[in-house]
Structure 1
Amino acid sequence: MSYGFLDIATTPSVRAAQAEMEADAHWAAFSGNRAFDRFTDNEAHFLAARDSFYMATVSEDGWPYVQHRGGPAGFLKLVNDRTLAFADYRGNRQYISTGNLAANDRACLILMDYPRRARLKIYVHVEKLAIDADPALTDLVMDKDYKARAERIFRLRLEAFDWNCPQHITPRFSEREIEQAVRPLHERMAQLEAENRALQDRLAKMGDA
């Protein structure tokens, strides 16, 4: 069996939990290859449309921390088929994720497409870079139209990724997605209102005559 993401995630305690829930036979019987260690065009298109993701890190004391990261659509850049990068914008200045990654460079990302009920999870090793450390990378990740202050760049080396099933994902839509969906309705309404005004003007002229 080769299942890259689960090969990392499945520890002895996870196997014990699977056995307790009688799910161990399911995974023991798995045959095939899901060792996704190279991004493809499918992931590239998915990443380009995302304007946020969740990143989990762990402190020296073993406590997990999940941080939301956001920016313009596509701000998590595909550098190559095994590398991602993004500009880390100033937030509440607690620096919990940044501190955790200095002690342990491993992280897990979850990216959501709520309207299509799709979820991509990624194991990475994270490297913190100064804004001016790699000019080519800086040019790639910086969005000059985004009015926020970037404090650093994170470069992410892929370990494994996997796609989750859509179960229990409730479709949700952003303001931009709703605007795009209802734009044809607004355009049709404006057209009908214009036609109605033209008809009223014509009837008024006929009445005057």
Structure 2
Amino acid sequence: MAQTYLHTMFGDGARALQQAAGSRASYARMEAGAGEMDILSDRELDFIAARDSFYMASVSEDGWPYVQHRGGPAGFLRHIAGNRIGFADYRGNRQYLSAANLAADDRVSLFLMDYPNRRRLKLIGHAHGSADPADIAALMAPDYAAEPERAFVIDVIGFDWNCPQHITPRFTEAEVRHATQPLLAELARLRTHIAKLEGDRP
């Protein structure tokens, strides 16, 4: 667990519950140690680039959490520079809940899931929307048939990798097709072979 994520997310309430559960000592050592730097490495950036969806939480003006699913072609969430990532915000239902939330409170939390490999990356940071055509153009997915309204730019301040416990593997249609292609090819070969044997019968 990276240091900024740990110090940002662990409040007194969480520390008290950790103490009661018997896990506080190990987390206290993590807080006291140098730990990991919260700098996105190739490991995190490669994981981000491979995702075709994520969940983003923001907070309403009344303090209610709002979680939105974002999807697009793999790589639509892009690395800009340093710890800055972003994505083009395509026209949708026009509720503008995330955009309104971020105008009042720029804090966000992202969950990025890799269901087949049971991996999860959590990111926290500060986000803002941009209507600058240059920002939008830089984050648009090529050949994606949707119209962007703005760009969302996120300055990541912390992240954490989670263990695979309780992550149910799920697979896309393309992943299933890739996994079953050798079996389907073998089935086709056997059918051809059987048809030939039957055709050779007197």
Q: Distance in 2 between matches of 1:109 and 1:95?
A: 18
Match of 1:22 in 2: 22
Q: Distance in 1 between matches of 2:176 and 2:2?
A: 40
Q: Are residues 200 and 110 of structure 1, via their aligned partners in 2, closer, same or farther at CA, if it must alter by over 3 Å? A: same
Once the two structures are TM-superposed, the CA of residue 2 in structure 1 deviates from its matched residue by 7.0
Q: Distance in 2 between matches of 1:124 and 1:183?
A: 41
Once the two structures are TM-superposed, the CA of residue 166 in structure 1 deviates from its matched residue by 1.1
Q: Secondary structure at the match of 2:170?
A: coil
Match of 1:141 in 2: 139
Match of 2:121 in 1: 120
Q: What is the aligned residue count?
A: 201
Q: Are residues 103 and 93 of structure 1, via their aligned partners in 2, closer, same or farther at CA, if it must alter by over 3 Å? A: same
Q: Distance in 2 between matches of 1:2 and 1:48?
A: 20
Post-superposition Cα deviations, 1:139-189, rounded to whole Å, max 9, x if no partner, equal 442123222222211011110111111111111112221111111111111
Q: Distance in 1 between matches of 2:166 and 2:96?
A: 32
- Equivalent positions of 1:1-209 (< 5 A) are 3-30=3-30, 32-130=33-131, 132=133, 134=134, 137-203=135-201, 207=202
Q: Distance in 2 between matches of 1:196 and 1:42?
A: 48
Letter matched to residue 46 of structure 1: F
* Of 109-118 and 167-176, the range deviating more from structure 2: 167-176
Q: Distance in 1 between matches of 2:186 and 2:116?
A: 24
Once the two structures are TM-superposed, the CA of residue 198 in structure 1 deviates from its matched residue by 2.5
Instruction: Give the TM-score normalised by the residue count of structure 1.
Output: 0.88
2:106–2:128 Cα contact (<8 Å) kept? yes
Q: Are residues 9 and 180 of structure 1, via their aligned partners in 2, closer, same or farther at CA, if it must alter by over 3 Å? A: same
The unaligned stretches of length 5 or more in structure 1 are none
Letter matched to residue 108 of structure 2: A
Q: Are residues 131 and 148 of structure 1, via their aligned partners in 2, closer, same or farther at CA, if it must alter by over 3 Å? A: farther
Q: Secondary structure at the match of 1:55?
A: strand
Post-superposition Cα deviations, 1:21-70, rounded to whole Å, max 9, x if no partner, equal 33222211335444442222211221122110000111121111111110
CA RMSD for the aligned pairs? Answer: 1.9
Q: Are residues 32 and 193 of structure 1, via their aligned partners in 2, closer, same or farther at CA, if it must alter by over 3 Å? A: farther
Q: Secondary structure at the match of 2:184?
A: helix
Q: Distance in 1 between matches of 2:197 and 2:40?
A: 57
* Of 111-120 and 40-49, the range deviating more from structure 2: 40-49
